[in-house]
Amino acid sequence: MKLQYKHFIITVKSFLAVIVFAVPMYMFIKNSYALNIESYVVNELKLQKALHLNNKYDDMLIASSKHFKVSLDGKNLLEDQQFFYFKKYFSPEQIQDIHVELSLKDTFSKAIKVKKSWYIVTFLYTKDKRQEYHVSITEAVDIDRSEKLLHRLQTMIIISSFVLFILSYILLLSREKLDKTKKEIEYSLDKANMYFNNAMIAFLIVDKNRKIISVNPLLCKMFGYSQEELLSQSAEILHTSRESYEEWGKLVFEKAQVNSVINKKYQVKRKDGELFWMEASGAPFNNTKEVSNGVVWTIMDVTEQVKNKNTIDLLNQSIHENLHYLKLFLDTAPIPIYVNNKDGVIIECNSAFAKILMKHKSDILKHRLSNFLPDYLVQIHKRKDEELLYKESIYYKEIFGINFHESKIYEYHKTTIYKNGKYDGYICVMVDVTEHEEQETKLQKLVFEAVEKNRELTKAHEEERLNDIKFTAIGQLSAGITHEINTPLTYLKGNLEMLTMDLKNISDTCELKTQLIEDTVDMQNGINRIASIVEAMREMSQKKR
Amino acid sequence: MINIAIVDDDVQITGMLEKFLKRNENYRVHIYNNPITALSSIDKSVYVILLDIMMPQMNGLDFLPKIKEKHAHINVIMMTAYSTLDKVLDSHRYGAEHYLMKPFSSLDAVSKKIDEVTI
């Protein structure tokens, strides 16, 4: 739709151009002839009138050729064979008009149509000696030809207009395309500028003399300069020293001018004097005349990268050292250690392991453990190793020995090694537990004895506890009995005492009084005995408690 | 005239003691078989209380501080049919003047204790 609208606009513009150019042309040409023809027509009417008044000029001739003269009498003045009687082509009114016209001025021109062709005829009016009017046709122009010329011109103007229209259309289309191309170029230029200015990588363009031609904002930010401070300056401003600048020139800049791309890390300097590492990639750019006009550098701040690399190098060095110490440590460790790969081949072992196999380390590596052990042990270890396929670690105790008499009991600690999440073998640490096992047996015996002793003690303690409970119960029972017996004894003893006192206070001294007093004494003794028994029971119960 | 109160749940003991103490004309004896009643009834005229320890309504060791708080001047002689060292110590700690074990060694021993606190 947009395209159609544009075409419509172009068409209208072209059409207007044609109108502006062709129409005035056409009008000018047309008018120049049309005016003459019109004047001839007007004059023709006047001549007709004039001729009408003088009939004696009826035989007036008119010729059709371009150059001829004819007398009014029409007898001997003809220079051309083609002539016609004037009156045949003019009505009486027309002839009269010519006559009137001739009466007003001596000469005039008129357009006359003869056999469908128009001619411009110039009439000359004179008087002879006899004072008669003579009308001579002094000039006749074939206006038919002019008309044809006019038509031809009109046709040419139309064709020219059409051509002009086409040309205008093409021109406008071309201009449209040109504008579009120009806009695209401008857009591309803007885009290129935008990329250049907003790129996350710093750009530095220097000429062959190492003068800075162009920089992008990131480079300015990286080095701490403004664009104005850098442009037209020598690239030396970015280097740590003159020597560094010259060294860079020899090392890299000269090569970068020749080679397509060159890449190097180098230490440079910021405006504030801070040094940092850059990674510069350079590519030459060519001008039309010169082979190499300079280099486009893309620069990245790789200070962190360099630091990280240094750290990694240090770490690597540290790892190598640690690995060395680890190997040393493993080798000097008194515990046998070996590493099996996933195929069951020993890939690493320490000296302690070599010692129990009574082999040299080089004779063990790249061999299977089964090569050094009796078959029954090989089968046991094989079954255990199969468990490692679905367990991260196992440990078990088993004898290890090349011959039966020198066998020792070892505790095998096997830990799986994974590589990329897949089983890649295991590391086995062998702990000699022979002595430990013996000690454990002894310890188990001791523990058994201790448990037995403890069981006996517990039994005794339980009996004691039961006795204590019994004594407590007895004590509580004694307390209750003591209380319950002592209470009646109290008033029994008191009343008996009062009875004795009363008996003693009786003044009569008879045998019965004496006998009663003796009885009370016996009763008192019995009560005292009961009280003593109860008191003894109380004391005993309290002691037990 | 000395007012003596006997507080013991056993009627026969209180009766026996009442009979014995009334033989002394200087004594006026008040009997209380319920310690709770005794706590509310004993007034400042009472000078000596013979107080049993093991009573079902209220323990004599609980009664002692309460009556001492109410009437600090009263002298209390504790009595018990089952004596332990703890009871003796507690009695003295709560302010008892003397401690008598049942059965009494003699009724004179009771008179002597009363005399000791009244002199």
Domain layout of chain A by residue ranges: 2-153, 201-301, 307-332, 334-432, 467-544
Tokens of A287: 């001008």
Q: Which residue has the higher pLDDT, A322 or A29?
A: A322
d(CA A303, CA A321): 26
Best CA proximity match to A440, nearest among A473, A477, A411: A411
* Residue spans per domain, chain B: 2-118
A121 contacts A107 by C-beta, under 8 angstroms: no
Contact list in A for residue B83 (CB cut-off 8 A) is 538
**Fold (CATH) for A467-544:** Helix Hairpins (1.10.287)
User: In the prediction, which pLDDT does A93 show?
Assistant: 66
CB atoms within 10 A of CB A334: 9
B42 contacts B5 by C-beta, under 8 angstroms: yes
Least confident residue range of A39-53, A85-99, A291-305, B86-100: A39-53
Contact list in A for residue B12 (CB cut-off 8 A) is 488, 491
Q: What is the dihedral of CA A430, A431, A434, A440, to 10 degrees?
A: -140
Distance from CA of A462 to the nearest CA of B (A): 29
Contact list in B for residue A498 (CB cut-off 8 A) is 16, 19-20, 107
A97 contacts A53 by C-beta, under 8 angstroms: no
Contact list in A for residue B16 (CB cut-off 8 A) is 490-491, 494-495, 498
> Measured between alpha carbons, how far is residue A379 from residues A383, A396, A432, A536 in Å?
6, 14, 21, 82
User: In the prediction, which pLDDT does A96 show?
Assistant: 63
A504 contacts A517 by C-beta, under 8 angstroms: yes
**Residue the block writes with tokens 């290890």:** A400
CATH architecture entry for B2-118: 3-Layer(aba) Sandwich (3.40)
Q: The whole model's pTM is what?
A: 0.36
Contact list in B for residue A527 (CB cut-off 8 A) is 103
Q: Which residue has the higher pLDDT, A327 or A221?
A: A221
d(CA A222, CA A270): 7
Q: Which residue has the higher pLDDT, A243 or B83?
A: A243
Predicted confidence (pLDDT) per residue in A314-330, tens digit: 999 988 988 888 888 88
Predicted confidence (pLDDT) per residue in B78-105, tens digit: 998 877 878 888 888 888 999 998 889 8
Average pLDDT rounded to a whole number, residues A236-263 = 81
d(CA A156, CA A159): 5
Average pLDDT of chain A is 77
Distance from CA of A513 to the nearest CA of B (A): 21
A395 contacts A382 by C-beta, under 8 angstroms: no
Q: Which residue has the higher pLDDT, A74 or A206?
A: A206
Average pLDDT rounded to a whole number, residues A20-39 = 61
CB atoms within 10 A of CB A486: 22
Least confident residue range of A151-165, A343-357, A373-387, A461-475: A151-165
Put simply, the answer to whether B82 touches A483 (Cβ < 8 Å) is yes
d(CA B64, CA B49): 10
Predicted confidence (pLDDT) per residue in A406-463, tens digit: 678 888 999 999 988 888 999 999 988 888 888 888 999 999 999 999 999 999 999 9
Contacts of A62 (CB under 8 A, 6+ apart): A70, A83, A84, A86, A89, A112, A114, A119, A121, A137, A140
Quickly state the pLDDT bin for A36 (edges 50, 70, 90). very low
Quickly state the pLDDT bin for A257 (edges 50, 70, 90). low
Residues 49-108, chain B, touching A (beta carbon < 8 A): 54, 81-84, 102-104, 106-107
Q: Please give the residue of chain A at the shortest CA–CA distance from B55.
A: A483
Quickly state the pLDDT bin for A261 (edges 50, 70, 90). confident
Predicted confidence (pLDDT) per residue in A280-298, tens digit: 888 887 665 554 578 888 8
CATH of A334-432, one of 3.40.640.10, 3.30.70.1350, 3.50.50.60, 3.30.450.20: 3.30.450.20
User: In the prediction, which pLDDT does A94 show?
Assistant: 59
> Measured between alpha carbons, how far is residue A474 from residues A540, A541, B86 in Å?
10, 7, 19
Q: Please give the residue of chain B at the shortest CA–CA distance from A545.
A: B84
Which of A487, A525, A532 has the highest number of chain B CBs within 10 A, making it the mutation to test binding with B?
Answer: A487
User: In the prediction, which pLDDT does B46 show?
Assistant: 94
d(CA A353, CA A347): 13
Q: Please give the residue of chain B at the shortest CA–CA distance from A499.
A: B20
Q: How many CB pairs under 8 A join A and B?
A: 53
Nearest to A489 among B20, B54, B103 (CB): B103
Residue A434: strand, helix, or coil = helix
Quickly state the pLDDT bin for A109 (edges 50, 70, 90). low
Put simply, the answer to whether A490 touches B20 (Cβ < 8 Å) is no
**Fold (CATH) for A201-301:** Beta-Lactamase (3.30.450)
User: In the prediction, which pLDDT does A450 show?
Assistant: 93
Distance from CA of B53 to the nearest CA of A (A): 11
Contact list in A for residue B82 (CB cut-off 8 A) is 479, 482-483, 486, 538
Distance from CA of A438 to the nearest CA of B (A): 60
End-to-end CA distance of chain A: 120
Asked if residue A76 has pLDDT above 50, the reply is no
Put simply, the answer to whether B81 touches A487 (Cβ < 8 Å) is yes
Predicted confidence (pLDDT) per residue in A495-516, tens digit: 999 999 898 888 877 888 888 8
Distance from CA of A523 to the nearest CA of B (A): 14
Which DSSP helix (H) or strand (E) runs through A285? strand A275-285
User: In the prediction, which pLDDT does A329 show?
Assistant: 82
Instruction: Report how far Cα A8 is from the mean position of its chain's Cα atoms.
Output: 44
d(CA A179, CA A15): 21
Contact list in B for residue A499 (CB cut-off 8 A) is none
Does A201-301 match A334-432 in CATH topology? Answer: yes
